[in-house]
């Protein structure tokens, strides 16, 4: 796949660069460039990111960082079986538990929420950092909802991290998930409060909490440009009708 001229491969994380040092330099540079493209496109164009990940995987399948990147690219396009296989390979290579939550979410994607929930109770979860434990809680709550256990999903999300007023990178998503779970069990007033709290913490715009709040408040947004276009079209139609009327009566078009 084409690589932009501004991509040098030096943009990748230093730990990944360290892993690639086991490869010949030219090969390492090629792999690094493809990994840069995966990271650059993962959110905006996951299909292209997936394509670059396959190139990197073909070049260096024995590098853990490559397997992990391939896993996230497959995950982004909904290829959960493939993603899970890549995450498992990366975990075998590194011995790290960091990927445990996303592996569990792949199980959900494969229609196995019971397996995801079982993973939430494994010893690996205790080895995760705080962010990883919150992520695992989100996955477990999602699995509960997949299984039709909406009330249990609410309880699953209740935690010291949810009650804390401190704001972390995962705070907005946790509050949002809790609000959504509350809404699913009919606790609309509480859900509104938590969507508001999610919005307060969502400095990066990672959720659509503002839209959910507006929906609960019955606020409808209109597209001003679209309305202007429709108004202009209406005026043009009226003008055409007037012209036609003038023509029929012997008047010049536009002179009515």
Residue 234: per-residue pLDDT: 57
Residue 5: per-residue pLDDT: 87
Query: Rounded CA gap, 115 and 117, in Å?
Result: 5
Name the residue with higher pLDDT: 224 or 131.
Answer: 131
What band does 249 get if pLDDT is binned at 50, 70 and 90? Answer: very low
Residue-averaged pLDDT of the chain: 88
Residue 46: per-residue pLDDT: 97
For the record, the structure tokens of 165 come out as: 């007023």
Residue 204: per-residue pLDDT: 85
For residue range 137-179, what is the model confidence (pLDDT) as tens digits?
999 999 999 999 999 999 999 999 999 999 999 999 999 999 9
Is the model's pLDDT at 26 over the cut of 80? Answer: yes
Query: Rounded CA gap, 236 and 201, in Å?
Result: 47
Residue 217: per-residue pLDDT: 87
For residue range 29-74, what is the model confidence (pLDDT) as tens digits?
999 999 999 999 999 999 999 999 999 999 999 999 999 999 999 9
Is the model's pLDDT at 7 over the cut of 60? Answer: yes
Query: Rounded CA gap, 209 and 192, in Å?
Result: 9
Q: Taking residues 124-137, what's their average pLDDT?
A: 96
Percentage, residues of the chain above pLDDT 90: 76
Is the model's pLDDT at 227 over the cut of 60? Answer: no
What band does 252 get if pLDDT is binned at 50, 70 and 90? Answer: very low
- Asked if 175 contacts 201 with a C-beta cutoff of 8 angstroms, the reply is yes
What band does 237 get if pLDDT is binned at 50, 70 and 90? Answer: low
Is the model's pLDDT at 236 over the cut of 70? Answer: no
What band does 228 get if pLDDT is binned at 50, 70 and 90? Answer: low
- Asked if 225 contacts 207 with a C-beta cutoff of 8 angstroms, the reply is no
């Amino acid at each position: 796949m084409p690589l932009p001229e501004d991509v040098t491969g030096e943009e990748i994380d230093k730990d990944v660069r360290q892993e690639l040092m086991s490869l010949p330099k030219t090969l390492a540079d090629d792999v690094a460039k493809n990994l840069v493209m995966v990271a650059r496109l993962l959110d905006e164009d996951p299909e292209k990111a997936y394509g670059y990940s396959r190139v990197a995987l073909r070049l260096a399948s024995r590098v853990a960082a490559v397997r992990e990147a391939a896993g996230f690219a497959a995950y982004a396009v909904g290829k959960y079986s493939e993603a899970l296989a890549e995450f498992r390979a990366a975990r075998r290579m590194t011995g790290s538990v960091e990927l445990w939550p996303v592996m569990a979410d792949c199980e959900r994607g494969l229609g196995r929420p019971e397996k995801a929930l079982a993973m939430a109770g494994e010893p690996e979860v205790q080895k995760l950092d705080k962010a990883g434990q919150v992520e695992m809680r989100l996955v477990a709550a999602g699995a509960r909802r997949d299984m039709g256990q909406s009330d249990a999903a609410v309880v699953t999300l209740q935690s010291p991290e949810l009650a804390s007023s401190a704001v972390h990178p995962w705070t907005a998503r946790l509050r949002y998930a809790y609000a959504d779970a509350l809404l699913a069990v009919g606790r609309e007033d509480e859900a509104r409060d938590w969507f508001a709290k999610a919005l307060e913490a969502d400095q990066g715009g990672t959720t659509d909490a503002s839209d959910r709040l507006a929906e609960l408040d019955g606020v409808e947004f209109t597209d001003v440009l679209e309305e202007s276009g429709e108004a202009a079209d209406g005026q043009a139609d009226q003008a055409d009708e007037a012209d036609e009327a003038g023509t029929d009566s012997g008047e010049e078009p536009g002179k009515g």
